[in-house]
Amino acid sequence: MGIQTQFCGLLLLLTVLVLWLLQPRIKLKTQRIYAGLLIIGIVCLVLDGYSVIAIHRANSFNSYVKTVCKLYLVSMEVLSCYTFLYLSAELESHISYIKIVRRLCYAWGTIFAITCLVLPIRVYNEGGKVYTYGSSVLVAYIATVGMVLANLLIMLKHKKHMDKRRWLVGMIWQIQWIVAAMIQFAIPGFLIVGFSAAIGITIVFIKLENPEGYLDRVTGVFNDQALRLYIDDNYKNNRQFQLLTICLTHIKNHDEALSPAETDLLARELAMYFHTIVFEEVFKHAGWEYTILFEERESMERAAYQISHKFTEFWEVNDKKLYLDSFIIEVPDSSIATRSDELMELRRLFVESGKKHGLKGIQFLDAKWTEQIMHDRQVAAKIQEAIKDNRVEVFYQPIYSTSEKRFVSAEALVRIRNLDGSIMPPVDFIPVAEANGMILQLDEIVFRKVCEFIRKEKLKEKGIHYLEVNLSAVQTGKSYLADEYIQIMREVGVDPTMINLEITESAAINSKDALLANMEKLRAYGVKFSLDDFGTGYSNLNYIMELPVQVVKFDRQMTNSYFENDKSRLIMEAAIDMIKAVDMYIVSEGVETREQLEELEKVDINYIQGYYFSRPVPGKEFIQKLEAQNF
């Protein structure tokens, strides 16, 4: 086998080079190293093939031919060193000694290259079979095989720190290369080491460095995977950057819906516009989200202003005028995260929050917002641990009847006990639980515990009419709520008339149909309902009349307003008269003094709840208060 393998290998790498040059590329360190690897591979095959040709054509094995043959051997050593450089690139941020090993690699390659050039080399050229041998060739084999073995050992030792696909490709590449070297060493005329190197470089291109794998097929710009690689490359090489995300929330088209082709056209035009104004890489996420990275904050701010102004105008797609609702996220400091997955998760959470709250214009994802997210995550983890460890408790705040002059009810309130025995403030964990959906688990736990408390303590016999249990806004929209609660009451064996579920007006507004369906089914089973926090939000008497509630609760703010000015007093007294006219009962929350109690008794408030009587207390303490009835 002669020049054929070298020619095939060279043709293969030239094809890869053309494809590489024609496609857009990300500014990754590994891609820059791969470019060098590709060039050295081509040079290596050219020298390999040319050395065979030179040996055939030369009348004698002169110094020129020897030099060509030795340069080929040196190029093979350089290629093996560059291979180590490529495969170890992603280990820099994980393994402290990689840089030292890399320096040793350079020293190894340099020493063996000089030795290879100095030592003698001989040639075999008979019967069409051509190959070189001698101490120079032996040194080249030792250097190349030694470098390949070093690559294999490091990859095996640090497998967990490498991308699985990169690790697998690297192992295949190095193993097939060392096998080829062993075959050529055993059969000198079988010249396949250079071709084997070309095969390995091609596999790396197809599986790891093919630019098409990092492109969005519709727009032609880079995709989310490419963005993550680019961000990680910046973090690993300690390069600061700024990030800008453009999020389209709604496309208004007053004529007719966009066809799939027009949708793709709009996506391409947006990508082209972003690229034109910044001349930077544009990255496309799923949906209508685009991200651009900047090296300077001023450039990012200038682009953000220009883009936000552009979105105040309409876009035209096939003569259709479109108005694009959007908001823009600026990340002015990349140090708020240390890896791409952290930064992308923060970006995703901010986008979700922006869509949920209808954000417009330019928003900032900065350290302050990140700290809040990290805090919320820590709280969420504590909630999950508390649920797992059964540290979710129910406290009860007694409710006083102005007619019976005693406690006749109580509001059940969720509490979480920390590992040190302290109670986590509800203001810390309830907003987090509502935001991430964990409130559903907490609500179910509280409801079951309340039912068990009613049955175990025989509260009806102690003069309690019912216990109030809050329904979160998330919970009221669930179609299965009524069936789930009825099932719990049946399992525990509790009288449904001992349950009063509190709903808020905001929950009713957001999920009115589902709430009414659940209320109808639960009321038919015997459960009562209260409207909580009357006096906040958009409360109005006409609206509360639509809800089948038996009790209206004045919130603490409304109660305090009654004592602060005449206008609030008149409004509250009018509300009391109208509520009582339709046979509803009233609970006034936030009562803290004897004077407040006496004033509210005069206007015929049915029930009083507040610190004057008791703060929320554990079940055992609540039972003690019931038995003592001493205030």
Please report the DSSP string for 51-103 in residue order: HHHHHHH-SS--HHHHHHHHHHHHHHHHHHHHHHHHHTGGGTTT-TTHHHHHH
Mean pLDDT over 608-617 rounds to 94
How far is the C-alpha of 307 from the C-alpha of 336, rounded, in Å?
A: 24
Decide if 552 contacts 573 (C-beta within 8 A): no
Q: What does the DSSP 8-state code read for residue 254? A: S
Q: Per-residue pLDDT averaged across 82-86, rounded? A: 86
pLDDT at 467 over 90: yes
Q: Which residues of 400-434 are buried (b: 16+ CB within 10 A; e: fewer)?
A: bbbeeeebbbbbbbbbbbeeeeeebeeeebbebbb
Dihedral (Cα; 327, 328, 330, 331), 10-degree rounding:
80
- 103, 133, 182, 473 from 71: Cα distances, Å: 22, 14, 21, 75
At 272-314, the pLDDT tens digits run: 999 888 877 899 998 899 999 998 899 999 999 999 888 888 8
**Winning range, highest mean pLDDT, from 72-81, 82-91, 395-404:** 395-404
Bridge partners for 394 per DSSP: 414
Region 320-345: what's the mean pLDDT?
A: 89
Name the pTM for this structure: 0.63
For 411-431, how does the pLDDT look when each residue is reduced to its tens digit (9 = 90+)?
Answer: 999 999 999 999 999 999 998
Give the separation between CA 156 and CA 162, rounded to whole angstroms: 10
Q: Higher-confidence residue: 20 or 524?
A: 524
* pLDDT at residue number 538: 47
The pLDDT of 63-89, averaged and rounded, is 85
Overall average pLDDT of the 553-564 stretch: 86
Kindly provide the b/e burial profile for residues 253-281, where b requires at least 16 CB atoms within 10 angstroms of the residue's own CB. beeeebeeebeeebbbebbebbbeebebb
pLDDT value at residue 561: 85
Q: Cβ(384)–Cβ(611) under 8 Å?
A: no
Domain 389-628 falls under CATH 3.40.50.2300: no
Which string of b and e fits 211-245 if b means at least 16 CB within 10 Å?
beebbbeebebbbbebbbbbbbbbbbeeeebbbbb
In order, the DSSP letters of 128-144 are TEEEEESHHHHHHHHHH
- How many angstroms separate the CA atoms of 32 and 233, rounded? 12
Structure tokens, 588: 């006034």
User: Among 38-47, 90-99, 330-339, which is the least confidently predicted range?
Assistant: 90-99
Q: Which of 71-80, 202-211, 471-480, 529-538 has the lowest mean pLDDT?
A: 529-538
Whether 237 has a pLDDT exceeding 90, the answer reads no
Query: How many alpha carbons lie under 13 Å from residue 430 in its C-beta half-sphere?
Result: 11
Structure token digits, residue 95? 């393994």
Exposed, middle or buried: residue 287 (CB in 10 Å: 0-12, 13-18, 19+)?
exposed
Q: Which of 620, 592, 622, 630 is nearest to 608 (CA)?
A: 592
Q: 84 near 126, Cβ under 8 Å? A: no
- What is the rounded distance in angstroms from the CA atom of residue 474 to the CA atom of residue 452? 24
With CA atoms as reference, report the closest residue to 466 among 607, 590, 576: 607
**pLDDT for 497 beyond 90:** yes
CA gyration radius, the chain: 37
Contact 562, 589 (CB under 8 A): no
List, for residues 195-219, the tens digit of each pLDDT value.
Answer: 888 898 998 888 888 777 788 888 8
pLDDT value, residue 212: 74
Whether residue 543 is predicted with pLDDT greater than 70 in this model: the reply is no
Of 251-260, 391-400, 467-476, 615-624, which range is least confident?
251-260
pLDDT at 631: 47
What is the topology classification, in CATH, of domain 3-212? Rhopdopsin 7-helix transmembrane proteins (1.20.1070)
Asked if pLDDT for residue 126 goes beyond 90, the answer is no
- Name the burial class of residue 618, with classes exposed (0-12), middle (13-18) and buried (19+) by CB atoms within 10 angstroms of its CB: middle
51-55 contacts at long range (C-beta below 8 A, 24 or more positions apart): 51/132, 52/2, 52/3, 52/6, 52/130, 52/191, 53/3, 55/123, 55/125, 55/130, 55/132
Mean pLDDT of the chain: 86
Taking residues 25-43, what's their average pLDDT? Answer: 86
- What percentage of the chain carries pLDDT values higher than 70? 94
Q: What is the pLDDT of residue 208?
A: 83
Question: Rounded distance, CA 322 to CA 265, Å?
Answer: 13
Cα-based distances in Å from 106 to 82, 85, 147, 175, 218:
9, 10, 11, 22, 43
Bridge partner residues of 320 (DSSP): 317
Over 60: is that where the pLDDT of 540 sits? no
Average pLDDT on 321-349 reads 89
Residues 116 and 144 sit within 8 Å (Cβ to Cβ): no
CA distance 222 to 282: 6
For the chain, the residue count is: 631
Start-end of H helices in 158-296: 164-186, 193-204, 224-236, 260-278
Question: Residue 541: what pLDDT?
Answer: 60
Residue 1 pLDDT class (50, 70, 90 cuts)? very low
So what's the pLDDT on residue 158?
84
Higher pLDDT, 191 or 268: 268
Round to whole Å and give the CA distance between 45 and 289.
45
3-212 matches 215-365 in fold: no
Q: Where are the chain's structural domains?
A: 3-212, 215-365, 389-628
Distances (CA, A) of 511 to 443, 527, 591: 17, 20, 31
φ, ψ dihedrals at 236, nearest 5°: -65, -30
DSSP H or E run through 125: strand 122-126
Q: For residue 587, give Cα distances in angstroms to 103, 235, 236, 297, 545.
A: 78, 58, 60, 55, 17
Q: What is 215-365's CATH number?
A: 3.30.70.270
- Four-point Cα dihedral 430, 434, 438, 440, nearest 10: 100
Q: How distant is the alpha carbon of residue 131 from its chain centre?
A: 57
